[in-house]
Structure formats: C-alpha cells, structure tokens
Structure 1
C-alpha cells in the first residue's frame, strides 16, 4: 500500500507494505494525568472518522510521554501495528504532532485500510511561523482562532500578527486611542484570549508593532510624531523622546497579555530617517538607527522586569541590513525576507550574509508578497532548503501580506508548512519536464484539497464565513462596499519637509 500524502512529510518512515482494515472501535490511553492531547484525539476520531471510542479493548492508541532520543522537544515516534498504535515523545507538543500524523494516515486512506508503519520524526526548524497582516486587512477573533487550528494541523508553531501599518490599526488599545477608528480591530482583551487559545494548540503568538516606518495608522492619532513619508509611501516616525514615550505606553498595554516567555516584533524597516525638530543640533549625533534599536530594546527590557516576562525582540533586517548594537546582537532575532522564487540568487546571498556561528540569530522571511494573489511556496522552499546548514537560523516565517483571503493563499501555507518541517521531503520534489511548475503545484493543491475536505477547520466555505468581507490594503474588495475604506486611516497621505531626511534603504 502506498503511504498517503502526509503534510508535512515525516523525516523517516519504515514500512513493510502491510496494512490492516481500518479499525472503527478504538480505545485511547495516556500516561499523562488529564492529558489534553487525549481529548483532541478522541474528538477527532469521533467527529472526523466516525469511530466508536471504547473505555478499553479494541484497537488501542497509547500516548506515552517518555524520553526518546531526539534533537528537538517536538520530535515523536509513531508505531502502528495490527494491535494498536503507540505515539511517544519527550513533550506534549511532540505527542500532539504525532497525533496529527496518525490522523492523516487514518483518515486520508482510499481503500479502508491503514498502513503498518514506524515513523521517527522531528522538525528541521524550531520556529515555523505564519504571518497575518492586520495592518492592511481585517481578521476577526473567530477567524484568527480558525487560523490557529489550521496551523496546528500543519505542525506550524507560531502565529506572527502584524498589528498595525500605514493603512489600518488592527489592535484596539484600552488606554490609548490606537485602533479605535477601525471597527474591525481586535481588542487587547481579545488578543489575550487569542494567546491563551493558541497555547492549547501549541502555537506561540508574536505580535508586531511598527516602531519606525509603516506608521500611518498611529500617526493618525499622533500627528506631531510624523517624520516624513515611508520608503513606499505611508509614513515614518520622527525619531526622538516623544516617540519613545509613546512606545513605553504601547508596550505597557501589550506585554501584560502575552506569555511569560514571549516574543515581540518591532518592525523597523522601509522607513526614512528624520529626527524630531526639537532635538538640538549638538544632540543629533546621539540619535542613530543603531540607538533606535537600542532604545526600543531597553523599553522592552524594562517592561519585562515590570511584568516579570522574558521578552525576545524581533526586527526586520530591511533591504540592506539593520545596525544592531554589539552587546545585544545575540539577544535579538533579525529577519531578512524575499517572497519571489525568481529571486533565488537574492535569497542565497541573504542566507550567506546573515549566517554564521557568531552572528545574530535570524528568521527567514518567505511566503507571499502583496503581489501574490494566490498561494505560492516557491520562495519558502528555497529559503528552507538553503538555510539547513546555517548555524544561527531560528526558522522561517510564511508571510501573507496585505490581504485576508487565506482560501486563495492556502497552497502557500500548506506547501510552505511542508518545507518548514522537512525541506527535503520527497513529496516536495518538482516533477521532471515541468519548467513552469504547473504539474508540481497542481498536484500539491490536489492533495491539499483532499486534506481540506477531511480536516474541516481548513474548509474553504468555513474559512470565508469566519473571514467576512475580503479586504486588501485597507479597502473592501467586493460587494456593495467595494473600493470603500475600512477606516479613515486607509487613504491618508503624508507630507513633510524632507530636506534633512536620509533614505535608509542602504
């Protein structure tokens, strides 16, 4: 029997080509008291597989948290015999991932049989992230919860939430005016619930607050902080003490709702460098892009102490890199990006530039740009294949910029999740005589649609219902509101005397 298309594909599968009839009377046990994984598995077997759950006997599935030889806490082993299945891992997270693989073997069969296999599996990358853009589109509380469930099915362990941009403020603060102009913004209270909900599915939330460029929705409320336009339009902050005072307040509201060990992305890309005009000439040399990174880092450190949180700061690498003070280079995570498969040379150059034993840890930025209106994972595949030997790579982020249409972009997440877990998986190999990838991408989407039909969290109609109206770059796309702005921030223009500005594209 051929092994079903597994997503993501395990590192090692041993099979003697034997099968058994799909068991419909199953008992499940765990050596963990009140094991939450037990509940997930029972519910999925009943709801998705029509299985009768027994208190004992029948085909027995054993969840065993115990020491196994593995490089990652997310590793697991799965053995299926004619008598039952055993899933072993050092952690609850590993057991959960083993369950996902078992469910695919159980549910994605075509002949009513399940293969008898031994699987040894672990991820290539520790961080496997998906990014959604609340700064240019709308994501409801229920929609984000659905995305978290989809990520967990694909063994993705991080959701990067880009909270604000020029067009929209996607988070409504309680004490600050930010986000109150956007009727679709999630609240601080909802973000706290999202963090808690994600934890159940072994997903970490990384919120992003733009701290230099892409600042239009924040400057809407604080026009005195306008420095000038951004690199691609929009707005950049004027750098100075008033800006740092604002971010002290922003992070004072944001950090309390996060986990004890948390990560925060601070943007810092695609901006124009200009200082507040109130800064005396003799003081200007104290304000540089490097000290900007330092000051934001210090604000986060102070909030970490105040709220007893361990905070890791992330920032975009920008087009030419980002100057980071030497004494914090090993304490932050920098993220270069490229979203186009045709720019493989650029991806290769960036991996070479950022890789090194004594260099700053980095995340690879793949996924889909604002010019990808359908799912694409070609660039993600290149990042993941070429980053395998880097000693300081943390993982990869699959970005979905500017829109909220996950259904159309699902192949980018589905294929990218495969790359992030196992870049050398045989089911990711491009077919021969397929110059334009038409056969290869089409086949992967065929498998993806079968997966979606079984795992209904990823059902297209359900996704679209939770999503609501499609929004791109702050404007409704279709229907009676087509072309109308979501919030007044969506169509702002910013002008200022740029005589002293310095373009930091490098």
Structure 2
C-alpha cells in the first residue's frame, strides 16, 4: 500500500478551526484540553519564521523529540533548526529536563516570554507540552501570542480511544493519522479491536491461515504503526477477543471450537476445556506481543456464556479442576490467560462480564472495563467492592456505535470519568451512576471512548466533527476532543466553555 505523507497541519486544524471564533478579549485560551493553570504576564511574543530548538546535548532522549516537534512546527509554516550548546539564540524553543518533584511522569511547564521554554521531568511531559505549544502557534509565523506560564498535568493516567478494526477494516493510513490526532489531544492509549467473528486483521506466521483475506496488515505496516505510536507517546493496546467473538479464529483453526455446537450451527466461541486451545492462544498472544510491544493486553472476554455444557473436553477440564459449571470454567479460562499475559509483564484488561463474586476468584490485577451499568444488574461498585480497578468505558457517553447509539456533545461535556451511564440511553443524565472522586480516585485509572462497527470514512465525523462521511453518516460532533478534556483536565472547565472551545453546541 502506498501511504500518504501525514503532517499535523490537518490534525491541529481540526482542533483549532472550531475554536478560533473565541473572543479576542477573552482570558480563556483556545486550547483543548484546557491546561490546569494559566498565568498571564504583560506583553506578547511574536515568533519568527525561523525557530531554533535548543536542548542540553547530554539529554539524548530529547534529540528525537526535538526532531518530531520541528517536523510538526514545519506544518505551521516554521523553519526549525537545532542548537545543543553555548549561548541560547533568540527566537528559540528551549527543551529542559528538570525534576523538581511537581511534574510527575506527564506534567510540564510552558513559559512564553521573549522566547519559549518547555520544562518537564520526562520526555513524555515535554511532548505533551509541545502539543499545547502547537495549538498556540497554529496561526504561524509573525502572529503574536501572549506571554504566559502554563503548569499542566493530566488528571488520569489512561486516556484512550478504541477502534473496531475487525467488523469494519481500517487502512493503516487511518491508524497512523489517528495516532497523531490522539496525541494532539493528549490521549495516550490506542486500543485496536483486531479480531472478532468477522475477521482477524493481524499478520501471523504462527498460524498462516488465520489472517482474513484482504483484511489484514503486513508486518511492515504493523512496524510502522508501532514506530508512529512510539514517536507520538501513544501505547497500542492489542485486543484479541476471546473466548467469545472468536468465529474468525475457529474458521481458521477448527480444533479451537467445542466438540458440540448448538442446533448444528458453526462454533462461535472457543473450547476452553481443550488444552490445545490454551497452547494455541499462548502462541498467538506471544506472536502479537512480539509485533506490538507495550505494557497492556485486552482479552475481550465479553458476551459469552458456557451453559449446559456437553463438550467432552470442557467436561473433562471441569472435572479435573473441580469446577461445578460453565461459569466457573469461564472464570478459570480468564485466570489462565491472565497468567500468560502477566508472564509477559503486561497488565490485562477485560470487558465486564464475569461475576465479581463468583468462583474461582478472578485475579484482582485484571482491570475491568464496564460498558453497561444495567448489564446483568451489576454496577461498577460491584467490581470496586471486590477489589478491582476500573477503566471507564461506559456506553453512555463513551460509545460511538453502529452510527446509531452515540451521545450528544453536551452529554459528554457534562460527564466525568467518575460517572457511568446506562447502555443505549437517550437520556444518560437520568441513569448516570456517580462516584465520589475522593473515595474512588485510585479505583478508576481513566476512560476510553469506543468506536464500534463504524466504517473508516465515518470515524472522523463521528469522533472529531469533520470528514468525508457526511451526509451519509449523520450527527457529526467533536466527541473525542470533549472527552479528551474531561480525562485530562477533569471537571475544572465548565460545560459551556468546553462546548464553545470545541465548536460544539447544545443539541
């Protein structure tokens, strides 16, 4: 596949075009997400066309970062050189690694005086500060910006987006561009749903028949995905959805299905009693992890039931493990997969579905992703009380699904990651379950917007409010920028301010 050259011109423009209407005399900057603290000084700074990126020659980690920043600034009309020692030149951007105990891993300080200084304890902090700077310099050379100091850090560790790649295949070019758009909004986790009933979209040497014809990537494309994510400080979270949503795996490897099926229909869930299933999954997971390095893995594990088991392999495993029913076998499977994932030094996510009070006890290291507070009568608090950490993926307002179920910009702007809405709810305000930030701060690691079963051409409009998919795909809105502010800044900004800065409106 011939790939287009992707710059940040369009990406930052998507964010900025909606907010340039902000009044010139407003004290609020046209930034999304909005920084935690902005202190204005007297005067302004006018950047020239030629900017110099200055950093300590001993800080080797800043060299590739400076190159990325220079590349991104060139899309706004600037010409950037590097300077690593001696007297700091005028019209410069100084990158400074300094740990004073106030930044954390992702915080930064951006100072604009008669020059620009970005200070952080880590390269990641410097990078997020550069995303703010790109928005401030969006107008290009010779356009003055206020002298100020910004102190900023994220409210939540996990700030994510999920794309369903298995039901509707997306080009690698889409993913590369989306990573940069996420980074512009300071989102740092990109979950890709690589497999489902419809297709398996990764390459595989271990199982050559597994990749779905004309709907999978090459290893070179996956390497490009990994390299771009690393460059833009985004982690890829692979999801191979098992043991349900597994028809694509079973079509390719029939031995993974149970020995008996319902009404003679093809198997759509894995045989979790067969030792060969565990061996095959460990081999497959290892292959994917080798291709896509990182700290996380998503097992899926949702919307599957093992009732009235007749499969001889499942019955044999239940007997040997002293399991009383299919639900306990399902718990056993999740724990076995957790052992594999933890052995690879990764943290495992699962969608809600298991009984937090069930046996055998699901390992407490697993992070749960609740998506419907009405599901089986369970609530996020049931998982909290059982000792689990949660990633908020609540259907309302975080699902953008099937071009049918999605919340309004206002609903997302009124939300925080401590709020969970009911699935498919047209009035999420009525059903939101709210948790106290003081008591649940360490129980919720963040939030993730999930785009399910949407065609590639619709994603930009449904998530960002722009793009080619309209009017065929209705209801465009900047859902992702609004969510990004709530998961970075929390609720310190008002609903009105957030809607205005993203160009959204009350529906």
The answer, yes or no, to whether TM exceeds 0.5 is yes
Per the TM alignment, residue 446 of structure 1 is displaced from its structure 2 partner at its CA by 5.9
1:174 Cα deviation from its structure 2 partner: 1.8
Equivalent residues in 2 for 1:105-254, closer than 5 Å = 105-107=136-138, 112-177=143-208, 179-188=210-219, 190-224=221-255, 225-226=257-258, 235-241=268-274, 242-254=276-288
Q: What SS does the corresponding residue of 1:49 show, helix, strand or coil?
A: coil
Q: For residues 254 and 305 of structure 2, what CA distance do their matches in structure 1 show?
A: 16
Name the structure 2 match of 1:353: 382
Give the C-alpha shift of residue 296 in structure 1: 4.5
Per the alignment, in what secondary structure is the counterpart of residue 76 of structure 2? helix
The equivalences for 1:469-480 within 5 A come to: none
1:271 to 291, 300, 304: 304
C-alpha spacing 1:424/1:178, structure 2 compared with 1 (3 Å): farther
| 1:45-444 alignment runs, 5 A limit | 45-51=73-79, 53=81, 57-70=89-102, 72-81=104-113, 83-107=114-138, 112-177=143-208, 179-188=210-219, 190-224=221-255, 225-226=257-258, 235-241=268-274, 242-259=276-293, 261-274=294-307, 275=309, 277-279=311-313, 284=318, 286=321, 287=323, 288-299=326-337, 301-302=339-340, 305=343, 309-318=344-353, 323=358, 325-326=360-361, 328-329=363-364, 331-338=365-372, 350-355=379-384, 359-366=387-394, 367-372=398-403, 378-379=411-412, 382-386=415-419, 388-389=437-438, 390=440, 391-403=442-454, 404=456, 405-409=458-462, 410=464, 411-426=478-493, 428-430=494-496, 444=502
Using CA pairs below 8 Å that are at least 6 residues apart, which structure has the higher relative contact order? 1
1:190-249 deviation line (CA, Å, top 9, x unaligned): 3344223311111111101111211222222234505758xxx99333331143233123
Asked if the contact 1:174–1:188 (Cα under 8 Å) also holds between the matched residues in 2, the reply is no
Q: 1:67 to 1:150 in 2, by over 3 A?
A: same
Q: Deviations over 1:272-305 (max 9, x none)?
A: 2144611385753535445544445445545765
Counterpart contact for 1:172–1:187, Cα < 8 Å:
yes
Corresponding residue SS for 1:328: coil
Match of 2:14 in 1: none
Shift of 1:381: 5.5
Q: Normalising to structure 2: TM-score of the pair?
A: 0.74
- RMSD between superposed Cα atoms in Å: 3.5
1:264 is displaced (CA, Å) by 0.9
Assess if the C-alpha contact under 8 Å between 1:25 and 1:58 holds in 2.
Answer: no
Q: Structure 2 regions of 5+ residues with no counterpart? A: 1-24, 420-434, 465-477
Deviates more, 1:83-92 or 1:239-248: 239-248
Change (3 A) 1:5 1:70: same
Count of aligned pairs: 423
Unaligned runs of 5+ in 1: 432-439, 448-506
Q: Would the aligned equivalents of 1:297 and 1:313 in 2 still touch at CA under 8 Å?
A: no
Q: 1:145–1:179: structure 2 CA closer, same or farther, 3 Å change rule?
A: farther
Measured in 1, the distance between the counterparts of 2:147 and 2:124 equals 23
Q: Distance in 2 between matches of 1:321 and 1:79?
A: 48
Distance 1:85 1:219 in 2: 56
Whole-angstrom CA distance in 2 between matches of 1:365 and 1:280: 32
- Distance (Å, rounded) in 2 between the aligned partners of 1:304 and 1:100: 33
Deviations 1:42-82 (A, max 9, x none): 2222331334658552222111111033363001111111x
Q: 1:160, CA displacement in angstroms?
A: 0.4
Q: What is the rounded CA distance, in whole Å, between the counterparts of 1:85 and 1:326 in structure 2?
A: 53
Q: Which residue of 1 aligns with 2:44?
A: 19
Q: What is the SS of the residue equivalent to 1:355?
A: helix
